[in-house]
């Protein structure tokens, strides 16, 4: 088959736009529609659902979407592949069959399982977590599609696998077609987060003419693994080299992007603006996957509570110190963890009371809910008439809530079952990769020639650079890129690990790893441990590091005067192929 396969996305997370499935089905032609509903935090949420009811553990919103759209998808011949099964793909598939009967729609359903290792966690050396799910690949999805399934439900597969599976089935790729698989992984990584590929969370968002309601993305994947990223005509947002680069930089670690089916070489990715709202991704190099699978481990870490004090006007530091001293001395029991953070949001001689106020947060954690419940928050409220002048709070006291801890684990792939359950109920064992290659760092590419010395100006980094940040367990990444070769010559030399430590003081004592991606004019930084024990632990006020990149962009840095003055003309479409040549 030489024609590209059109694969759309209608969900980037559990809770994404509920109408997106219908919008994508009605908006234009598709061969497949996919959705990503899982994340590290989502697995914890689904684990708690399953504790309450063993019949749950899947993304319930997907059922609502299918009640609305199953008939439409079947009528249009669009096949659906989603990871909404979470911890219970079989249970979700049974519910879908009930919906089909209720609607009178003739449809075939299949699911993929084997990723749930919770019952075997101890024997695999993974401890005793609430959830333990290995990241499976795309070949179970391929089996289900080849069996004639109209809807395929999976548990924990890699985010890109729901896109790689349809492409591999459509073109009949082999397990060792690593370049083709790698190309599909890149396309999948771009579209799996939904509207982040069409302008959402985009650093240069003001260049996009209409971001009111961005459309969801589509990947047109060709038989060699190259692709074009686009969206339905008439939808909001934009697809440009910039928006696609932004998503490519999201939650990556290094130049080798490891997966269960292929290790993708991100340092071989090239982008071209192929037309309005069309970005071409050239052929990508792939390598054999590592011999181990990553496992998502979620554990209930204990209970957490928080009180936030508002400090207004003068003597902010002294007021904070008084509140700390009083609360700690009044507590009858001391929680295992008691952390204070003063956010100096106030400004002198402020024109509004809010602008004159700072926030003092006290966060407590303990295995015993009684030590962080009313016994803590009630004491905080008792300070109201006995503490610093103007004492008030952002919210009233509450009981402690459970919090989770995420840790990654790794197991030999051969110890993890991968099972495709076909529409007729038959079960197919899908072999794990036999041809493997241990993961290793990529040597640093050659540095570009530095710019000649000249006048510089102190400006925000974001005056010339875009960035995107995200979370991976306790680590965060920040991908930073620029749009011209001259800017790249400056960025590659200037934005070093030491410079990041200076610009982001929180990182001073943390390990930072830098990776250069010259084809994208980008550098990626992985900051280890900045998120503590993962998003559910809430180690910092931005637990998923969503705003970390924008903080970096706001920090001032000496930039050559010529780069500041000679900015490329803003264009939501990015440079054309002719301009890039």
Read off the pLDDT of residues 494-509 as tens digits, 9 standing for 90 and up.
999 999 999 999 999 9
Assess if residue 439 is contained within a domain. Answer: no
Both 26 and 132 in a single domain?
yes
Least confident of 47-51, 358-362, 377-381, 536-540: 536-540
Do residues 185 and 4 lie in contact, with contact meaning Cβ atoms separated by under 8 Å?
no
Three-class DSSP category at 476? strand
Count of domains observed in the chain: 3
In this prediction, residue 579 has a pLDDT band, given cuts at 50, 70 and 90, of very low
pLDDT at 577 > cutoff 80: no
Query: Is 95 among the domain residues?
Result: yes
Q: Is a pLDDT exceeding 90 seen at residue 255?
A: yes
Whether 207 and 325 map to the same domain: the answer is no
37 with 83: CB under 8 angstroms?
yes
Assess if residue 200 is contained within a domain.
Answer: yes
Quote the pLDDT of residue 395: 84
Domain boundary among the residues 389, 404, 419 is at 404
Tens digit of pLDDT for each residue in 161-182?
999 999 999 999 999 999 999 9
pLDDT band for position 576 (50/70/90)? very low
Nearest to 464 by CA among 505, 525, 506, 521: 521
Q: What is the pLDDT of residues 257-301, one digit of tens each?
A: 999 999 999 999 999 999 999 999 999 999 999 999 999 999 999
> pTM to 2 decimals?
0.94
How high is the pLDDT of residue 571? 53
In this predicted structure, the answer to whether residue 574 has a pLDDT above a threshold of 70 is no
pLDDT at 580: 37
Task: Say whether both 396 and 423 belong to one domain.
Answer: no
**Distance, CA of 22 to CA of 1 (rounded, Å):** 28
Average pLDDT over residues 373-388: 93
The DSSP bridge partners found for residue 153 are 82, 111
CATH of the domain at 334: 3.30.70
Q: Residue 505 has which token pair?
A: 């003081």
The verdict on 151 and 47 lying in the same domain is yes
- Structural domain span for residue 84: 5-296+408-429
Domain presence at residue 447: no
Same domain, 333 and 243: no
- Shared domain for 95 and 54, answered yes or no, is yes
**Domain presence at residue 446:** no
Q: Indicate whether 160 belongs to any domain.
A: yes
What average pLDDT does this structure show over 25-52?
95
250 and 385 together in one domain? no
In a domain, 389, yes or no: yes
Question: How many CB atoms are closer than 10 A to CB 104?
Answer: 7
* Residue 570 confidence class, pLDDT cut points 50, 70, 90: low
| pLDDT tens digit sequence for 429-453 | 999 999 999 999 899 999 999 999 8
Tens of pLDDT, residues 205-245: 999 999 999 999 999 999 999 999 999 999 999 999 999 99
Same domain (yes/no): 464, 382: no
Q: What is the pLDDT of residue 569?
A: 65
Beta strands in 77-193 (DSSP E): 79-82, 109-113, 131-134, 151-153
Shared domain for 267 and 310, answered yes or no, is no
Residues 356 and 420 in one domain: no
Please, how many CA atoms are within 13 Å of residue 393, restricted to the half-sphere of its CB?
20
The helix, strand and coil proportions of the chain, stated in percent and rounded to the nearest 5, come to 30, 25, 40
Beta bridge mates, 480: 467, 523
Are 204 and 247 within one domain?
yes
Residue-averaged pLDDT of the chain: 95
**Does 355 lie in the same domain as 278?**
no
- Kindly report the backbone phi and psi dihedral angles of residue 477, in degrees, each rounded to the nearest multiple of 5, phi listed first: -115, 150
CB atoms within 10 A of CB 503: 17
Residue 435 per-residue DSSP state: S
The reply to whether 438 falls in a domain is no
């Amino acid at each position: 088959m030489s024609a590209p396969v059109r694969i759309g996305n209608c969900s980037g997370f559990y809770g994404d736009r509920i109408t997106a499935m219908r919008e994508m089905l009605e908006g234009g032609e598709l061969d497949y529609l996919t959705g990503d509903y899982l994340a590290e935090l989502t697995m914890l949420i689904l684990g708690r659902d399953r504790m309450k009811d063993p019949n749950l553990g899947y993304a319930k919103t997907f059922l609502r979407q299918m009640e609305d759209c199953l008939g439409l998808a079947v009528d249009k011949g669009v096949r659906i592949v989603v990871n909404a099964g979470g911890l219970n793909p079989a249970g979700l598939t049974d519910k879908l069959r009930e919906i089909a009967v209720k609607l009178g729609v003739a449809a075939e359903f299949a699911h993929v399982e084997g990723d749930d290792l919770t019952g075997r966690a101890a024997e695999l050396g993974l401890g005793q977590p609430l959830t333990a799910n290995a990241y499976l690949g795309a070949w179970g999805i391929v089996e289900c599609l080849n069996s004639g399934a109209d809807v395929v439900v999976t548990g924990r597969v890699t985010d890109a696998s729901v896109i790689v599976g349809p492409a591999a089935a459509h073109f009949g790729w082999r397990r060792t077609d690593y370049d083709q698989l790698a190309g599909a992984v890149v396309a999948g990584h771009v579209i799996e987060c939904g509207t982040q590929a069409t302008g959402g969370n985009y650093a240069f968002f003001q260049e996009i003419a209409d971001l009111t309601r961005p459309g969801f993305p589509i990947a047109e994947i060709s038989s060699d693994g190259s692709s074009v990223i686009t969206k339905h005509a008439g939808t909001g947002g934009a697809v440009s080299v910039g928006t696609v680069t932004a998503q490519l930089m999201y939650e990556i670690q290094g130049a080798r992007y490891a997966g269960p089916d292929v290790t993708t070489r991100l340092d071989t990715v090239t982008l071209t603006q192929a037309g309005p709202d069309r970005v071409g991704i050239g052929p990508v190099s792939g390598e054999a996957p590592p011999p181990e699978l990553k496992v998502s481990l979620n554990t209930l870490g204990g209970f957490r509570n928080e009180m936030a004090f508002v400090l207004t006007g003068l003597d902010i530091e002294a007021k904070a110190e008084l509140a700390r001293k009083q609360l700690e001395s009044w507590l009858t029991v001391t929680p295992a963890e008691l952390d204070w953070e003063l956010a100096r949001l106030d400004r002198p001689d402020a024109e509004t009371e809010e602008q004159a106020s700072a926030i003092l947060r006290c966060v407590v954690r303990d295995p015993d809910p009684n030590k962080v419940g009313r016994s803590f928050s009630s004491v905080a409220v008792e300070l109201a008439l006995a503490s610093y002048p103007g004492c008030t709070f952002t919210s009233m006291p509450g009981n402690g809530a459970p919090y989770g801890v995420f840790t990654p684990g790794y197991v030999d792939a051969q110890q993890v079952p991968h099972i495709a359950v076909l529409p007729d109920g038959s079960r197919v064992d899908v072999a794990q990769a036999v041809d493997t290659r241990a993961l290793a760092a990529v040597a640093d590419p050659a540095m570009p020639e530095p710019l000649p010395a000249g006048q510089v100006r102190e400006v925000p980094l974001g005056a010339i650079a875009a960035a995107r940040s995200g979370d991976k367990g306790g680590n965060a990444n920040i991908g930073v890129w620029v749009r011209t070769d001259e800017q790249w010559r400056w960025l590659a030399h200037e934005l070093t690990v030491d410079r990041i430590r200076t610009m982001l003081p929180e990182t001073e004592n943390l390990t930072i790893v830098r990776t250069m991606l010259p084809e994208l004019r980008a550098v990626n930084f992985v900051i280890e441990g900045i998120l503590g024990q993962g998003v559910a632990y809430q180690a910092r006020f931005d637990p998923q590091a969503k705003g970390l990149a924008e903080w970096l962009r706001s920090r001032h840095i000496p930039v050559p005067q010529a780069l500041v003055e000679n900015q490329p003309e803003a264009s939501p479409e990015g440079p054309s192929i002719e301009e890039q040549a």
